[in-house]
Structure 1
Amino acid sequence: MSDPTTPSAKEGIARLWSGEGFARHAPEPAWSVIPRTLDIGYSDPSGDGRDGVFALRTISAAKLTAGQYWTADGPRTAAEIDAQLGCGGAG
């Protein structure tokens, strides 16, 4: 964005992703469809890893409490995930 046109823009206040208050800005992003599934993967420094394809509806419906993470097997704590994967000498 450049060439502020409003007092707030001249003070450095910008509304994210709008271009409001500036004479020149990037065009609005093109509309896109949110996919029904998400491919999630990770690898550790040794090159070992896991991946899977998950339904976004399933992920968004998960009910997590503080300290829990979503997994394909349901909510798990970090300790449960570590024990399952054999991290840190556990399991």
Structure 2
Amino acid sequence: MVRTPLTPLERERGRRLGALLRSARGERSMAEIAARAGISVETLRKIETGRAPTPAFFTVTALATALGLSLDHLAELCAEAELPAA
């Protein structure tokens, strides 16, 4: 199976998601949040750094729950990356 390359917009949205999750994690350790979400620390690291710009829906849901974030709010913030510069 060949994966279609990501567009610049998809990459930017992934970077924004990672930055939002990293900010929401605050002083809590990656290990703590990864354990709460049921994912590996390496997966969380890849998402936060933008190296995994399109994580699975259930991974994002688990992270949002672990961080106390609303999926609606998270989606809204990530979508702001799609707005043209004013």
TM above 0.5: no
Larger-gyration structure (1/2):
1
**Higher helix proportion (structure 1 or 2):** 2
TM-score for both structures, normalised by structure 2: 0.25
Normalising by structure 1, report the TM-score: 0.24
Higher strand share: 1
